[in-house]
Amino acid sequence: MKQFKQMFLVQLKMTFREKQAWFWGIFFPVILMVIFMSIFSGSSDNEFSANVAIVDENPNATSAMLSDQISQIPVLETESDMAVSQEEAYQLVMDQEVDAAIVLPESEEDTSIQLVVNKENEQEVTTQALSGMLNQLVQEANLFAVGATATYELTFESISSSSNDLSYTDFLLTGMIALAIAQGGLFGMVDLVEMRRKGLIKRLRMTPANMSLFGLSDMTMRLLFGVIQIMLLSLIGVFVFGANLYINFTSLVVVFLLGALSFNAIGYLFSSFSQTTEAYMGIVNIINFVMMFLSGVFFPIDTMPEWIQPLSHILPLTYFVEGLRESMVYETSLFSSTLWSGIGIIVLWGVIAFLLGSWLYKRKSIVATR
């Protein structure tokens, strides 16, 4: 126990001295989370609105009817109480002073209503929403024109495995926690490369020190580092940005322990064949960059292009993110088959990485003694 305590203190001092591990494990996730939450946390479907200009150069019964219908759409705000000319409306759209211009029919016989948008904003959500609203308005006008009444209607309901209201802030917070823990494991193993390069590991093996205790102390220190990450990011997310966490602590502990150990093992594998610190950081940065954007940290995987989704389902961070969300947001029970299928993939990654890393370290050690 005394030897373990001394080794743990040494590992702790090494971690405090390793500025890269602190940056990638603590400061980078905090900075990234603050940026994304500042951008997206205030958005809400209930707050959607669009500013439009109405063009009605030749008022008639048809344009009056459509104008009245448009004025009753609560999320639409008109540029002015009076209709503007087509030239003025086009200029407003080009200058992006309005989201769109709606050109009403010029005569009672005219059957078209035109939506004018800026080409730069053609693919934006606001444009798509306006197009959908006007399309619905036209369909209702067609039914009214032929004296028909709508038989079917679409109702919308959102359900979740959790009984609590969830938001993008909750989604992002758990993704950032998973990313921080993963980065702590990946970037935290850089000290092993430096120790091996300087021959410190070889010297340590020649001492009475128990190498198993050395590994156990390192693992304990990294798990403690992970706990700090969870607590810090959770406090910022909840108290600064109003995120909601509904935690199943048993599931969280299991997912955290197995996930953190697996990413430590992956970092251990990279350290086994990296000859220099620069080489190690280069490899880890590439892997981290790929997982950061393809593992559902910031956005759901289902929203990604179909051709790239298979790659997302291979990455270990994908399942770690899902596991943390299940345990921290959806209160998923530890006995859930969905939870364990993801945990199984994470553990598989960890075991393979550890065995391969151990083999490479052992092989290099044998070669060095010949």
| pLDDT tens digits along 87-105 | 888 888 888 888 888 888 8
Boundaries of every domain in the chain: 16-41+167-369, 47-145
Mean pLDDT of 285-297: 90
With bands split at pLDDT 50, 70 and 90, how would you rate the model's confidence at 80? low
How is domain 47-145 classified at the architecture level of CATH? 3-Layer(aba) Sandwich (3.40)
Is the pLDDT at 203 greater than 50, yes or no? yes
With bands split at pLDDT 50, 70 and 90, how would you rate the model's confidence at 305? confident
With bands split at pLDDT 50, 70 and 90, how would you rate the model's confidence at 240? confident
**What residue type is assigned to position 101 of the chain?**
A
